[in-house]
């Protein structure tokens, strides 16, 4: 069994925003046996726990995260391919799924190229781009519940909604099976990465901050609405609405949670005032209710 425990770990070291208070205990878990031990310990001791991937779609408050924060690595981050399928550990980077599929001559996952998150994290937001979403290519999901009991589900049992969790938050994912196709993609993963990196800001951020809302029956880019409200460059403290992409709030150096949070509320208020559209955060603001041991 392999697990490393770090007490009072700074969450800011583990988020793409470089923001966040401390975790009571940060546990790096590298295999299923150790993961089960951690879950069972938390259950028996009534300690709340949560899993955090690469911290690329979260904003963590200065108060930090109570209980145990689990990070998945080792065998829980491996990717393997078989005929028409890619099976990935929940801790695997999305780019590893794309690269493994490419090497196996499988297509269908290219839209995930360059998204800086893990498979498990992507499952909790139904991550997507270019008109495709994670739910389009999933065949099955396996994991544990809050008591350490194994569970698995198939694609027809998922809840494929726009930027919403595909499974209940109280479940812990260990691996996802992707159903892909043989053939050549219409656009290579490298081309998609170049497109993504060309328009995204270089400063620390959590990715697209707001969901694209439905306006007049169509999904409309939140960045366009924010830009039309002349909000690019608007800042509070060391947080700014990116000049490169209006749907990114960036940390220009030492931004605090409160800077980003208040700037997000200002953006929402200004867009609603001028367009009548209420934006909704895509970024998860933590803490939110953790998986309680029970």
Instruction: Considering the candidates 100, 133, 135, 208, report the single residue annotated as catalytic.
Output: 208
Q: Give the pair of three-digit tokens for residue 245.
A: 């992409």
50, 163, 175, 205: the active-site residue:
163
H/E stretch holding 9 reads strand 3-10
Residues contacting residue 185 through CB under 8 Å, at least 6 positions apart = 107, 108, 110
CA neighbor of 49 nearest in space, from 213, 223, 169, 201 = 169
Does 282 participate in catalysis according to the annotation?
yes
From its phi and psi, is residue 260 left (phi > 0), alpha (psi between -120 and 50) or beta? alpha
| 91 C-beta neighbours (distance < 10 Å), count | 28
The answer to whether 18 is a known catalytic residue is no
CA distance linking residue 21 with residue 19, whole number of Å:
7
Nearest Cα residue to 246 out of 235, 259, 231: 231
Say how far apart CA 97 and CA 111 lie, in whole Å.
11
**Is 163 among the residues known to form the active site?**
yes
Report the 3 state secondary structure along 80-136.
Answer: EEECCEEEEECCCEHHHHHHHHHHCCEECCHHHCCCCCEHHHHHCCCCEECCEEHHH
- Catalytic choice (9, 175, 203, 282): 282
* Catalytic (active-site) positions: 163, 208, 282
């Amino acid at each position: 069994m392999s697990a490393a425990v770090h007490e009072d770990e700074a969450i800011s070291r583990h988020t793409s925003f470089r923001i966040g208070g401390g975790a009571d205990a940060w546990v790096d878990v590298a295999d299923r046996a150790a993961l089960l031990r951690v879950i069972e310990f938390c259950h028996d001791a009534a300690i709340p726990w949560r899993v955090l991937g690469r911290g690329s779609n979260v904003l963590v408050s200065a108060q930090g995260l109570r209980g145990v924060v689990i990070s998945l690595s080792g065998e829980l981050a491996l990717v393997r391919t078989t005929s028409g399928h890619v099976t990935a550990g929940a801790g695997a980077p999305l780019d590893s799924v794309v690269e493994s599929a490419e090497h196996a001559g499988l297509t269908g996952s290219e839209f995930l190229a360059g998204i800086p998150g893990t498979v498990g994290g992507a499952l909790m937001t139904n991550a997507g781009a270019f008109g495709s979403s994670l739910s389009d290519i999933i065949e099955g999901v396996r994991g544990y519940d809050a008591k350490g009991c194994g569970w698995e589900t198939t694609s027809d049992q998922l809840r494929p909604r726009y930027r919403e969790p595909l499974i209940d938050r109280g479940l812990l994912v260990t691996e996802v099976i992707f159903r892909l196709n043989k053939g050549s993609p219409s656009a290579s993963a490298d081309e998609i990465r170049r497109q993504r990196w060309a328009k995204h800001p270089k400063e620390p951020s959590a990715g697209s901050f707001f969901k694209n809302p439905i306006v007049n029956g169509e999904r409309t880019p939140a960045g366009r609405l924010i830009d039309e409200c002349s909000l690019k460059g608007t800042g509070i403290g060391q947080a700014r609405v990116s000049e490169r992409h209006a749907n990114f709030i960036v940390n220009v150096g030492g931004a605090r949670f409160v800077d980003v949070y208040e700037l997000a509320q200002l953006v929402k208020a200004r867009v609603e005032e001028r367009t009548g559209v209420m934006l909704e955060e895509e970024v998860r603001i933590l803490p939110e209710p953790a998986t309680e041991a029970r």
